[in-house]
Structure 1
Amino acid sequence: MLAPQLVKLSMTVEAGESILQPTTPSPYSHDVISSLRCLDISTNDIDAAIIALQCLPERNELQSFACTLFDGDESSSAAHRIFDLIASKCKPHTFSELLLKGCMAARQEDRDDYVDISALFPMSGLKHVEIFLPSTIMELTPAQVETIPAAWPQIEELVLNAGSWGSIWTARPRIDHTHLTTVLRGCSNLRVLGTRFDATQIGREQYNQSPAEEEEEEDVEWQCGLEEFLVSDSPILSSSQMAAFLTSHVPRLRKLYCFHPYLARANAEFFTEYEQHWNDVASDLSVSSTYADFA
């Protein structure tokens, strides 16, 4: 298929349907959908998204890839395959948006299925990354936090499984509020952030810092333009200390939300102590805490 003027392609792959991958490379492979900038797939099988990416020519002009899964059980291996294909086929400076959304599902408690986003770090042009795969575990690590500011200097929206309910998360997050400040300091364009983090240590570091460390922090000026913060079910003990932290570090915050919309609607009865604390934080800051305001 030669379509030199095709810029955006949206497709829905229904149950029982599939995308056929060419068995032999086409002599016109460099001209196939050569102008394609946006690829949007809705399917019940994540393999369809993988095949679609495999069909793209090398060093293509794709800028945005979106995949919505309305059925099926996604896995970390499939997500990693998508990341690898994007990194190997798309141009790192022009590919700017990745949206990958799975259907609502509870993670099996005996399944350690961690999604590692590190394969995407070479894509330096990324501005929008939103990945929601409820049947997997995906959260930032300290090493990733240190890498993100340099890897994605233009990042504006970063949302990673920022929504969960009781059966999904059982382990404490790998990062805390100190790691959060690393992202906020290093990503000056960041406007929307969604990630779990451990907020239970808020306020304690002031008792462990030396006067020299406190003065050094005060001398460093940095601007944070974050406006929307999705914290999922991040553990928190003190709403007042968290509110003070956000007031100091995120002065432009307008929206604070603690549960992903799909799961919140399906589990309205699920109300935790953490959720109450986060709602109290939003109230203290006079910011929105309802998902309707995020749409």
Structure 2
Amino acid sequence: METLVQQVVNAVSLGGVYAMLALGLAIVFSIVRLINFAHGEVMTFGGYGVFLALAFGAPPLAALATGVGAAVAMALALERAAFRAMRGADVVTLLITSFAVSEILKVLFQNGISARPVPISLPQSWSGTWRLGELTIGVAPTVSIFVTLAAFAGLTLILRRTTVGVAMRAAAEDLEMLQLLGVRANRVVATAFALSGLLAGVAAVIWTAQRGSVDPMMGFFPVLKAFIATVLGGLGSLGGAVLGGFAVGFLEVMAQAFLPPALAPYRDAVVLAAVIAALLARPDGLLPARRGERS
């Protein structure tokens, strides 16, 4: 029982990271129909922001805030420099553009900073554990759960209680109609990218705090899992992205913990098989978008 509870905590922690990244992908896709695979490099840039801030002597909390800010700045820069001119293009063109931007950023990170992982030195207490009865739970997974919940609560308030949030929800329904009503589409889309960057930055902070390093490929695999989560939850559905992220994290942790040793090397294959089985039962995802638009 103790092992199961600890693995559930780990699953919620990992699933929260995937859910934040998946939600960032879903926010952008719901408005401009862009599957942004450069989202992983936004996350990586946030990690490098933490590294550089610490290298220049910033306190740990200030360094983490710098990493989040760096991710938001990168997301806005990509929207303005790479994706704004492509708005309205077909899905394949947007997909190729996002892949190209992703590869360009990887090369810049490899040649401009380091092709190898660079260590991030955070306080030792952050990587410790605490006991709850017979349970021994890591500090970082516990903190990441609360940070994830706070991020989701804040985003929900923005989308439901603010003018720009309502405009973003309207843009997800019909961006052209929103423009005809006099709303500045560029501002709405930029806000969507900023929120996706914010979520990527928070995910980067959690990821780097747990890994203790950052490298040019740091964001690739988490965003790949997040994309799988968005498809599982329902492409374009914000609630589905969150549900899919937690589902993928849960499957991954439980497969790693409880698969027989002979099947342990096939963990990812087992997880993907479970995702495929779920999509065969529900082709539109666990919580499909209202408009049912899929790519």
TM class, shorter-length: under 0.3
TM-score, scaled relative to structure 2:
0.23
Which one has the bigger strand percentage? Answer: 1
Which one has the bigger helix percentage? Answer: 2
* Structure ranking higher on relative contact order (CA contacts 8 Å, 6+ apart): 2
Of the two, which has the highest radius of gyration?
1
TM-score, scaled relative to structure 1:
0.23
